[in-house]
């Protein structure tokens, strides 16, 4: 029987894809079905077919898996943020552990005896995010809509509460919504590139309680700016209010120019004993509780004794660098974003750390050049790249510099596996792999890997 679009079938969900979709089979034909878990029996409608697989939508849950739970959030099935909220948390952790291992096996070509530690989960996988980005739009009647994009679309689902963001955001969004409605501020329309307000960025200091609001606008001025400030400063602990200018016709949320209109240009927060200043454009891990665990693992894997020279590549605002500097002789951080390096230098200063130096530029440019021109060396190299992983020229320089240890912090298991294969084919060996759940109810995970040079 040939399976085609609009067919209605009954399938058993037997596996889960790397993107969190349930995988069912019907007469050998594979179907990917959102919002299902292993053990579900479901009636589905086929939405799209390829030669040997297709995509289907669940029409009815016939038998629920023992691993299925009711999502706390009423829009979890529609919103693109929490694709696993219907899966019991211990199984989410198992899924992420297996995702990392499978990438190392299939992409990295490593054998089954990978030295993987049990994944580090959260004690409470809700209300953990210190940063939120809310798109702003209009409904069909012209009313203000603030919420999140539906999965794989630019359609905004209006919401007043999110179960993974800091709860104070409810009050912030309520105040901004009222301001936009009272003063009839124009809302950005993506199709026509007209209107003013595009996004709302919030940051929350989990330790300090300090609050930041940054309004992203398609213009240079906000009408009724003083009233906007008045609405927000009614909220206790408001610390920083700014405008981000983004007049580009783009899907990128933030523009490069930020104008502080009230308070400080940053908020402060702590990870462990280290104090950080965080500006609207700063890269700062979104889950501070798990980040502390992540950095402690990275520091443990670096195994510093006070005499080592460490290079921290893709250092952001110096978050890992300053942890390392407490135990190293000297730390050098590299980051391509100039504002992040300014933050990193300021963070070193406010913590009284004098053995950390920072360079602006792409890691794949800075490290090879300094190695060739200045003959620099490293006892330990730490990398924390974006999802695309490390550039091959950078990996090649690491191999040439031949540090005793490399600590790789990754947010994408596939590019991690690819880069580990490159390093392990050229003289390094994996000693430990530790997954850390930074993003509960999503398919994403962080991983820390310790590599040692074979003759170290």
Residue-wise pLDDT tens digits, 310-331: 999 999 999 999 999 999 999 9
260 pLDDT higher than 70? yes
- One domain for residues 185 and 257: yes
Per-residue pLDDT reduced to its tens digit, 60-87: 999 999 999 999 999 998 887 899 999 9
Residue finishing a domain among 63, 83, 108: 63
Whole-angstrom distance, CA of residue 42 vs CA of residue 209: 45
Q: Which residues of 342-375 are buried (b: 16+ CB within 10 A; e: fewer)?
A: bbbbbbbeebebeebebbeeebbebbbebbeeee
Compute the distance between CA of residue 84 and CA of residue 76 in angstroms, rounded to an integer: 9
Tens of pLDDT, residue by residue over 177-190, are 999 999 999 999 99
Q: What integer is the mean pLDDT of 6-28?
A: 93
**Parent domain of 162:** 131-271
pTM: 0.93
Q: Does residue 80 fall inside a structural domain?
A: no
227 in the same domain as 325: no
User: Is 76 inside any structural domain?
Assistant: no
Is residue 321 located within the same domain as residue 348? yes
**Among candidates 361, 287, 346, which has minimal Cα distance to 127?**
287
Out of 73, 79, 411, 452, the active site residue is 411
202 and 157 part of one domain = yes
214 counts as catalytic: no
Pairing mode, strands 211-217 and 238-245? parallel
Of 77-86, 166-175, 186-195, 285-294, where does mean pLDDT reach its minimum? 77-86
Based on the domain organization, do 313 and 331 belong to the same domain? yes
Look at 238 and 152; give whichever has higher pLDDT: 238
pLDDT of residue 89 exceeding 80, the answer is yes
Q: Please report whether residue 426 resides in a domain.
A: yes
Q: Which of 271, 295, 327 is the last residue of a domain?
A: 271
Kindly state whether residues 348 and 406 are assigned to the same domain.
Answer: yes
Question: 31 with 143, same domain?
Answer: no
User: Within a domain: residue 198?
Assistant: yes
Q: Which residue pairs, CB below 8 angstroms and at least 24 apart, start in 299-304?
A: 299/323, 299/324, 299/327, 301/405, 301/407, 301/431, 301/432, 301/434, 301/448, 301/449, 301/450, 302/327, 302/328, 302/380, 302/382, 302/405, 302/407, 303/405, 304/328, 304/380
Q: Is residue 195 part of a domain?
A: yes
Same-domain pairing of 27 and 115: no
What average pLDDT does this structure show over 209-238?
A: 98
CATH number at residue 51: 2.40.50.140
| C-beta separation of 44 from 22 below 8 A | no
78 in any annotated domain: no
For 106-122, what is each residue's pLDDT tens digit?
999 998 889 999 999 99
pLDDT at residue 103 in the model: 97
Among 241, 271, 301, which residue terminates a domain?
271
Assign residue 191 the CATH number of its domain: 2.40.50.1070
Do the beta carbons of residue 241 and residue 231 sit within 8 Å? no
Does residue 218 share a domain with residue 141? yes
The answer as to whether 404 is a domain residue is: yes
Q: Tell me, yes or no, whether 318 and 244 share the same domain.
A: no
Would the pLDDT of 361 be above 70?
A: yes
The predicted pLDDT at position 64 comes to 97
Number of domains in the chain: 3
Same domain, 40 and 117: no
451 in Cβ contact with 406 (< 8 Å): yes
> Are 258 and 281 spatial neighbours (Cβ–Cβ below 8 Å)?
yes
Instruction: For residue 3, tell me if it sits in a domain.
Output: no
Residue 456: which pLDDT band, with cuts at 50, 70 and 90? low
Percent over 90 (pLDDT), the chain: 91
Q: Rounded mean pLDDT of the chain?
A: 95
Whole-number pLDDT of residue 112? 81
Find the mean pLDDT for residues 361-390: 95
The CATH number covering residue 420 comes to 3.40.50.150
Work out the average pLDDT over 15-21.
93
Residues 179 and 104 in one domain: no
Q: Is the pLDDT of residue 1 over 80?
A: no
């Amino acid at each position: 029987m040939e399976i085609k679009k609009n067919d209605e079938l009954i399938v058993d969900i037997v596996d889960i894809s790397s993107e969190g979709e349930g995988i069912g089979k019907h007469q050998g034909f594979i179907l990917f079905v959102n919002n299902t878990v292993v053990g579900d029996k479901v009636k589905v409608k086929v939405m799209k077919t390829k030669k040997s697989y297709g995509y289907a939508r669940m029409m009815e849950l016939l038998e629920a898996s023992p691993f299925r739970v009711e999502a706390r959030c009423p829009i979890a099935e529609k919103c693109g943020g929490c694709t696993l909220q219907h899966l019991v948390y211990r199984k989410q952790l198992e899924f992420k552990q297996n995702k990392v291992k499978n990438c190392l096996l299939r992409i990295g070509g490593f054998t089954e005896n990978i030295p993987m530690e049990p994944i580090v989960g959260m004690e409470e996988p809700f209300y953990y995010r210190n940063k939120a980005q809310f798109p702003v739009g209009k409904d069909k009647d012209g009313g203000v809509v603030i919420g999140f994009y539906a999965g794989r679309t630019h359609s905004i689902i209006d919401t007043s509460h999110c179960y993974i963001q800091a709860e104070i955001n409810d009050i912030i969004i309520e105040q901004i919504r009222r301001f936009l409605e009272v003063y009839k501020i124009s809302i950005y329309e993506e199709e026509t590139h007209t209107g003013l307000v595009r996004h709302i960025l919030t940051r929350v200091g989990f330790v300090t309680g300090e609050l930041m609001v940054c309004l992203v606008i398609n213009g240079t001025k906000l009408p009724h700016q003083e009233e906007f400030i008045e609405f927000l400063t009614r909220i206790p602990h408001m610390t920083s209010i700014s405008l981000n200018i983004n007049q580009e016709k783009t899907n990128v949320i933030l523009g490069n120019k930020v104008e502080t209109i009230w308070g400080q240009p940053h908020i402060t927060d702590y990870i462990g004993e280290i104090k950080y200043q965080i500006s609207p454009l700063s890269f700062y891990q979104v889950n501070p509780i798990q980040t502390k665990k992540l950095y402690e693992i990275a520091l443990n894997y670096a195994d510093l004794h006070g005499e080592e020279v460490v290079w921290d590549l893709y250092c952001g605002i110096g978050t890992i660098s300053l942890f390392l500097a407490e135990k190293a002789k000297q730390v050098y951080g590299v980051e391509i974003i100039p504002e992040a390096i300014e933050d990193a230098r300021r963070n070193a200063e406010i913590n009284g750390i004098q053995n950390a130096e920072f360079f602006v530029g792409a890691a794949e440019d800075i490290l090879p050049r300094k190695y060739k021109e200045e003959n620099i060396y490293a006892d330990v190299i730490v990398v924390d790249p974006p999802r695309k992983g490390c550039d091959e020229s950078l990996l090649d320089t690491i191999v040439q510099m031949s540090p005793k240890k490399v600590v790789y912090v990754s947010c994408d298991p596939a590019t991690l596996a690819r880069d580990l294969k490159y390093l392990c084919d050229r003289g390094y060996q994996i000693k430990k792999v530790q997954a850390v759940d930074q993003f509960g109810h999503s398919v994403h995970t962080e991983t820390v890997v310790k590599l040692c040079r074979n003759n170290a």
